[in-house]
Amino acid sequence: MSIVPTLTPIGTSAYVRCGRGESICDPRPGDIILVRGIGWLGRFIRSFERMRFRSDEDRPFAHWSHAAIIVSRSGLLVEVLHHGVVLSKLDKYRDQEFHYVFLDLSDADRKGAAGYACACLRQKYGVWSFLLLALSLLAGDRLRIPDGGQQGCAALIVRALQRAGMTFARGPADMMPADLAKRFGIFP
């Protein structure tokens, strides 16, 4: 079932929650999704996010464990999986809860963000950056991860949206899905 969103506006974005069996009816390049992973890896990522998002007010942002960027009006998205950067369909997430984030971008910015994401296809997953981020979090989140250009799901989105003129408090290698949720004010 495709849904016409009832938007929850926040600053320069709005979002809609899609439950199991639901999807968005009019995806736009440059928008993003935040996914609550259902497997062991999703639980593992959320446990590390909770190390950064400890306070009661920040805890809800650690609800998500994956993110992807829409690159076409037909619902194609670019995401980073354990084997690298791939092209997928939004319908892939119909059986999981996700939030679709509508970003306030110009057509040119949408094209630039989607173009960057597509240019990253077939790049390898940034295992080294992932391990450094995990170590940083275990050390109290005091270290900043050097940006070696490796791709993680949030890093790819941050780099794409930086090309659309957006700014972020942390560097791409330091970002997790929870950081994107906080940046855009997305609550479960």
pLDDT digits (tens, 9 = 90+) for 142-186: 777 777 777 899 999 999 999 999 999 998 989 999 999 999 999
pLDDT on residue 7: 47
Q: Say if residue 62's pLDDT is above 90.
A: yes
Give the 3-state DSSP-derived string for 97-156, with helices as H, strands as E and coil as C. Answer: CEEEEEECCCHHHHHHHHHHHHHCCCCCECHHHHHHHHHHHHCCCCCCCCCCCCECHHHH
Smallest CA-to-CA distance from 157 within 105, 108, 120 is with 120
pLDDT tens for 95-109 read: 899 999 999 999 999
* Residue recorded with tokens 């957006």: 166
Structure token digits, residue 138: 């275990």
* Strand 23-24, strand 32-35: pairing: unpaired
Is the model more confident about 43 or about 6?
43
Residue 139: per-residue pLDDT: 76
Q: What is the pTM of this model?
A: 0.89
Q: Which CATH number fits domain 2-184: 3.40.109.10, 3.50.50.100, 3.90.1720.10, 3.50.50.60?
A: 3.90.1720.10
Instruction: Give the domain ranges of the chain.
Output: 2-184
Partner residues linked to 51 by β-bridges: none
pLDDT at 6 over 70: no
